[in-house]
Chain A
Amino acid sequence: MLEKTEVKVLDKVVVRFSGDSGDGMQLAGNIFTNVSAGIGNQVSTFPDYPAEIRAPQGTLGGVSGFQVSVGRGVHTPGDSCDVLVAMNPAALKQNVKFLKPTGVIITDIDSYREADLKKAMFRTANPFEELGISQTVLEVPVTAMTRAALADSGLDNKSILKCRNIFALGLVCWLFDRPLESALHHLKKKFARKPAVYEANAKVLQAGFDYGHNIHASVSVHRINTDDPRPGVYTDINGNTATAWGLIMASEKCGRPLFLGSYPITPATDILHELAKRKDLGVKACQMEDEIAGVCSAIGASFAGNLAVTSTSGPGLALKSEGIGLAVMAELPLVVIDVQRGGPSTGLPTKTEQTDLMQALYGRNGESPLAVVAPASPTDCFTMAFEACRIAVEHSTPVILLSDAFIGNGSSAWRVPEADEYPEIKAPEVKLAEGERFVPTARDEETLARPWPVAGTEGLQHRLGGLEKDIRTGAISTDPLNHERMVEIRRRKIENIANNIPALEVHGDADADTLLLGWGGTYGHLLTAATELCESGRPVAMAQLRYINPLPANTAEILRRYRKVIVAELNSGMLADYLQAKFPDVEIHRINKVQGQPFMVSEIVAAVDRINSLNTVAQ
């Protein structure tokens, strides 16, 4: 079929689907992602959608986008796209800035009536000229073709129009040589209960594909290279689902049932959704009356002996602060997941930021240390959710997992781990001498962690509380020196976690004199930037912190190895401040972005160059 078409072979391509928030762009993007992952491409996605569920149709505020990069060496959804699908003029206007100079626009020319242009605030009748577009534009009559394809379907007009996204998907599948069988399979699953809708979409998908085939003279078909991944069983997973599954794995590995107390909040709610489904694995997921009840029910479940978790985003973490302080004081295992979004206050609910770091580290009354970890990618959410549980149980402490909207909603192909790939998780044992009573301040001598008996065990009744306890008996104590010793013990207990986590790894050119350092979800962008810099003769080392409190034991040694450390983060410098306070002798530079958007690789590359050249000038 493709023999007459020019086929270009590419390492990776970036496609951005955009349209009205009701146009089904997320669905089209997701199917394209799954199909690509299924044929062995690496994938990285970035759903970029408005906070409004249905903003007025055709307006700039209602534009929803889904960007995906597929191919080889894919660590980010890409700074800019090779193909922009714009279902209407508003989507075109909002998204053309993401298109590469060499890119292609596919747009539904049937949605360019005068009224449509007006809604998108165009001043002239020629939107392409008005936007100064120099890229190739494929003006496709998507609406008319969809209507024609479904003329005999018996569907009403509204239902027919809902299939436009799948026409565009069919066209993109043709463009990138994707197998339609796989796309059909995903559609069938999506519309399992609506066979008529499935039939219509299947027809439209083929129509879109055929349309591409018939007009192929004007653009090239691309074949995208694949990596040779590690053998195993793979699935496509987003960060929030990976987080939920990591918790389940931890529950299996510590032999305690999993309990989730939560309250819906964007962009964390999918964790609640997934765990609510996982009653089939015995998970108890409770939607509580508010954020506070979410954390408090989890604290109760932990005291009862379950592996207990609460999930939220920044505003919810603020509400949970007092409860987390109780878990610090009671020294109970607790995992708190914060899928960060733009703040302060309600802020930018659907957008990504890393602005909760200080809140996680310090946002409680009193001396209240706890562990903070941050996953580096959608798939790393699985590992770090597991790690959060392991640290919580083995060190009897609350742990805050700082995910973010970018990796929580973004997805990647993920190799399903074998059962023995993750270690057993063991709480400190209860050790009682003959006739000795169990006290809640009993500790493991090495880690200083408390045992975690299951409530109901005979002979281990004990009382916990938010009041300070006597270091020896666990009874209430207001003794000044006792308090200071307890503060010290709680601090050292957290510091000791550093002996039980992996060392910080250096990527890129380890011998360079500059270290590019990030934390959490910016990993893909930083790694790609470091790779680009190294490949173009500007060597830089790169490291990503996933354990933030405590830091990996070799952190100081690594930071001091470099003349310059450039800390890049999606906030105004929280990690940089944290590190500078700990390591005043390290020369720390900063790359900061607080726009509710992930980094672009090009921004990081440019900023690193700027810092390095400024330094050269200064010398």
Chain B
Amino acid sequence: MTSEQLTDNNCCAAAQEFKAADFKSDQSVRWCPGCGDHAILNTLHKAMAEIGVPPHRTAVISGIGCSSRLPYYMNTYGFHTIHGRAAAIATGFKVANPEMTVWQISGDGDGLAIGGNHFIHAIRRNIDINMLMFNNKIYGLTKGQYSPTSERGFVSKSSPYGTTEDPFIPAELVFGARGNFFARAIDVDLETSREVMVAAGRHKGTSVVEILQNCMIFNNGVHNRYADRAVRADRTIHLHHGEKMIFGADGNKGLVQDGFLLKAVTIGEDGYTLDDVLVHDARCASNFLHQQLAMMDGETLPLAVGVIRDVDAPTYDESVTEQVRQVRAHKGFDCLRSMILAGETWTVE
């Protein structure tokens, strides 16, 4: 099928309405009962229906790990690949077939340890794929070793005396690789998860969504510190583009600028008014503030969820396609033979 035909299909499909069920495959889901992945999967089905790209125009590509089983549960084109390589495989897929919408599913081990190189390079290129990174700070499928996002000192089967290394903070790598879209959600917060998945799906370029996911079996409660219902309102902030950075159970806390840093204040206390509270600009070209927001850890400053950065930039797949188009328009050949004959040749009669 040519790309023209694909585009036509897309146009017809744009008017079509999809339901979450249209994206579900007939396979029974095999994650542990109570695993955060169930909620993420259901939310992804809903988000895809909302985005409206038909299942046959969607591809879901994963690496290895618990999260990476997800493609089997999708009624889309799907590819459960090898450990760490999903970003590279998704890159080739998208460049080869730019009409497809591509989702990449990976975890903290798959994406940031064995696949760290592909992760940063996919982001640097700004290939138009939507990466969902399920961060549970543990290796689940191999039964409980520390991951590159585990806190220093974390005790696991492979670190019985605690780890002796510092973790990556995924957002920091995204910004280090000059990423243009970063969002975060907590697995149990279905509404925010859906919101950020839809935003990621609509963003052109590499969209990284970190989903803080709970592994019931090997790392239960790792995100409780800020994800628990009792503290969530005070320890997290839901950022919305164009809106004041306000949080707290009473809705009276805000983030203000303090020199080059951020500070959490209570509105009406210490002379701070609503006017002092920053307005979130996810589309600001500079990532300086986005980085500070993404690095907040739920201790002195609330953990940020929602779309933190969403900036337009040229995508790799479009740039490749456009360059091919330009070169062909300028000096294209209709076939190999005509290209060769235009070069250095001689004829034997």
Contact = CB atoms under 8 A, between A and B. Distances in A.
B95 A289 contact: no
A305 B94 CA distance: 11
B99 A233 contact: no
B339 A297 contact: no
Contact of A305 (B80, B96, B121, B344): B96
Contacts of B9: 456, 458
A304 B96 contact: yes
A257 B96 contact: yes
A282 interface: yes
Given A292-B85, A298-B92, A306 B97 contact: yes
Interface in B289-347: 320, 323-324, 327-328, 331-333, 335-337, 339-341, 343-347
A64 to B, nearest CB: 24
A281 B336 contact: yes
Interface string A267-306: 0000000000011111110101110110011111111111
A177 interface: no
Residues of A in contact with B, size category = 35 or more
B92 A297 contact: yes
A305 B97 contact: yes
A419 B335 contact: yes
Contacts of B79: 300, 303, 330, 463-465
A280 B323 CA distance: 10
Nearest to B60: A463
Contacts, number: 209
A300 B93 contact: yes
Contact of B336 (A40, A252, A259, A415): A252
Interface stretch (B50-58, B183-191, B270-278): B50-58
Main secondary structure of the interface of A (DSSP, over half): mixed
Nearest to A290: B117
Contacts of A300: 61, 79, 88-94, 96
A416 B340 CA distance: 8
A416 B337 contact: yes
A84 B297 CA distance: 72
Contact of A299 (B54, B81, B97, B336): B81
B340 A280 contact: no
Interface string A233-257: 1111000000001001100100001
Contacts of A231: 347-349
Nearest to B114: A292
Interface string A459-476: 111111111000000011
A283 B56 CA distance: 25
B88 A419 contact: no
Given A189-B344, A231-B349, A303 B339 contact: no
Interface of A: 34, 37-38, 40, 189, 229-236, 245, 248-249, 252, 257, 259, 261, 278-284, 286, 288-290, 292-293, 296-306, 308, 322-323, 325-326, 330, 415-419, 454-467, 475-476
Given A302-B92, A302-B96, 11 more contacts: A245-B336, A280-B331, A281-B339, A288-B88, A289-B121, A292-B85, A292-B88, A308-B92, A416-B341, A456-B97, A463-B71
18 contacts: A259-B96, A279-B324, A280-B327, A280-B339, A281-B336, A284-B95, A284-B96, A299-B92, A300-B90, A323-B82, A325-B82, A416-B340, A416-B345, A455-B93, A456-B9, A456-B57, A456-B77, A463-B78
7 shortest interchain CB distances as A-B pairs: A297-B92, A300-B92, A465-B80, A300-B93, A301-B96, A304-B97, A296-B88
